[in-house]
Each structure stands twice: as structure tokens, then as C-alpha cells.
Amino acid sequence: MGRNKRQRLTSAPKSNRKQPKPLSRQSSISKAASKPRAHTQARHKEPTIPFHPTEHILLIGEGDLSFARSLIGHHACTNVTATVYESSRNELEEKYPHVVENIDVIEDGGAVVKYGVDAMKMKAFTVGGKRGEGAMDRIFFNFPHVGGKSTDVNRQVRYNQALLVEFFKHAIPSLSPKLGSSIVVTLFEGEPYTLWNIRDLGRHSGLEVKESFKFQAKAYPGYRHARTLGVVKGKNGEVGGGWKGEERPARSYVFVRKGEGAVVGNGKRHREESSDEDEELEDSEEWEGIEDRSDEDHESEVTDECGD
């Protein structure tokens, strides 16, 4: 009898309890959750192009000039100045034998190639003489790297930080006074590149990151990542050995002068925008200061500077 009572006591509530309906793929909750994912996937497929074809564009450290060629041949850019570190065309051709065709397309398209331009020492590209205003709406430095100066990771990080600090300092005077003129730096994702703390380097140089986005090489047909040391050859001596940089995940950072970032609503600052939903870790490590070496006045006319 006690058993019957126990059964009645435990079974009675079950008859009154409403069982929740299991969520299915057809539920409103799952539908709402699926929409942002579809939107994100569509957005990722569309590359971000951080320039307009009519803007004045300066390219630093162009390597084999394949990026410059794509801007002219595919994106129809009309005001491009491409610079390389190599001191002459002959030296560039020795390093990248295939560069001849790229140069021809660039020059036939009305663009300019300048040789012997060091990102750490370059003079300003200006209009109106030595004391004129900056001439460039967009300045690009794709995959900056000092090369194999050391096998020690910490030293390599410091060398590349120094490269970027000097580049920022010498690039800012070339920026057009137009609001929103920008410097775009593209780096591979992951270490050791994240150790460079590029956002902090920009802040210490008087810049701020307006936005960042995934760099997609497919947006620049014909572009090939050029190694700092020249073309890579396989064991049999054929060109094309080794890894392909254009296939590695990379991110572009758009720097503007401090105070020119996005402003919304009642004037409150807007957090850095990103064209994708991958949240990058903020550079939390404090930038270890690199001496701000003073330079001579580096302004000059566009037609007179940094070239053969």
C-alpha cells in the first residue's frame, strides 16, 4: 500500500507538468541565429578594396611590381607611383627576372616606377615644392620585412618594429591633407608578426587604426608575393619553389592621422571597424620604445626625389 501511495505521489505532478517543446531547425530561434551566419559568409566573400581608381597612390617596397601591375591593369588606377628598394632596374631584374613585363605594363599605363627608395629614409612626395603639401591619398606597404638579419626572434621583432616606426615617420609627410588620407600596411597573421604590435607603433607615430580587414590576394589578379631576398628556386633550380605568400592568411591595417577615425552619433569615438567578424586580440603588450632618430628635412618635389 505504501508503494501505491508513493506511485500516486510521484506520478500526479507528471500529468500536470507541461513538457517543453524541443527546438528544431524550423524554430524562430534557430532561424534568427542562422541569418547572421549567412550574412557573414557573404561578406567574407567580398574583398575590401581600400582605394578609388582616381586617387593618388604610393606603393612602397614593391618587390616584383606585380601588385602595382594589378592596380593598373585590373583596377584601372590612373595615378600610381610604385617604388622599389633596389637601386636600379638592372638590379631589380637580377633579383626578379620576370619583372620586365610588369614594368612595361606599369609604364605603358602612365604610372611611375622609382628605384632606390628606402622606406626608412625616403623623402616626402609633395606638390608645390619642398614645403608643399603631401601628394598621396593612399600609401601602401605590403608585407614589410627587413629580411634575414637574425635568426633570433626577439631581434627580428625589434628590427621590423624599427622599420615600421621609421616608415610611418617618413610616410606621414607624403599624405594628402584631405581628411581620411591613409597608410595601409599588410602583414601575415600569427606569430611573429603579431609580436610587432603594429597598432602601438602607429599610435606612437601619430596615427590610429581606422579599420582592418582580411587581405585577399584574389582581389588583385596577377599579384604574387615577392620574397625580400628575391625569387625562390627549388632544388632543381627551377623558379617557383617554396611557399606562396599570397596563399597565407594576412590582414591589412588602415592608418589615418589621429583624430580622423570614424565618428558616430554625438561625437563619441567609434571602435576600430573590421570588415569581418574575426576578433583580433588587441596588442596588449606595451611597445618598447625605439629611439626616434632625428632626420634632416626630408621634403622635396615629387619629380625630384628618390629615384634614378
Classify residue 5: in a domain, yes or no: no
pLDDT tens column, 277-306? 444 434 333 333 333 333 333 333 343 343
Classify residue 17: in a domain, yes or no: no
Classify residue 34: in a domain, yes or no: no
Question: Quick check: 103 and 65 in contact, CB under 8 A?
Answer: yes
Mean model confidence pLDDT for the chain: 77
Q: What is the DSSP code (8-state) at residue 136? A: B
Domain extent for 199: 54-279+288-304
Which are the contacts of 271, defined by CB distance < 8 A and separation ≥ 6? none
CA–CA gap between residue 125 and residue 306 (Å, rounded): 9
Domain count, the chain: 1
Q: What is the DSSP code (8-state) at residue 174? A: G
CA–CA gap between residue 125 and residue 175 (Å, rounded): 8
Of 184, 182, 161, 58, the C-alpha closest to 117 is 58
How many CA atoms within 13 Å lie on the side-chain side of 46?
A: 7
CA distances to 51, 133, 273, 280 from 262, in Å: 17, 23, 8, 19
According to the model, what pLDDT value does residue 152 have? 87
Classify residue 102: in a domain, yes or no: yes
Pairing mode of beta strands 112-114, 124-127:
unpaired
Over pLDDT 90: what percentage of the chain? 57
Residue 249 is placed in which grid cell? 592568411
Classify residue 23: in a domain, yes or no: no
Of 66, 107, 16, the C-alpha closest to 224 is 66
Question: How many other CB atoms are found less than 10 A from the CB of residue 75?
Answer: 17
pLDDT tens column, 106-150? 999 999 999 999 999 999 999 987 778 999 999 999 999 998 777
Task: Give the residue, 200 or 31, on which the prediction is more confident.
Answer: 200
Question: Quick check: 140 and 63 in contact, CB under 8 A?
Answer: no
Domain CATH for 223: 3.40.50.150
Residue 273 is placed in which grid cell? 571597424
According to the model, what pLDDT value does residue 24 have? 47
Classify residue 6: in a domain, yes or no: no
According to the model, what pLDDT value does residue 250 have? 95
Q: What is the mean pLDDT of residues 154-169?
A: 96
Classify residue 297: in a domain, yes or no: yes
DSSP string spanning 187-224? Answer: EESSTTGGGG-HHHHHHHTTEEEEEEEE--GGGSTT--
Classify residue 218: in a domain, yes or no: yes
Question: Quick check: 214 and 276 in contact, CB under 8 A?
Answer: yes
User: Does the pLDDT of residue 264 top 90, yes or no?
Assistant: no
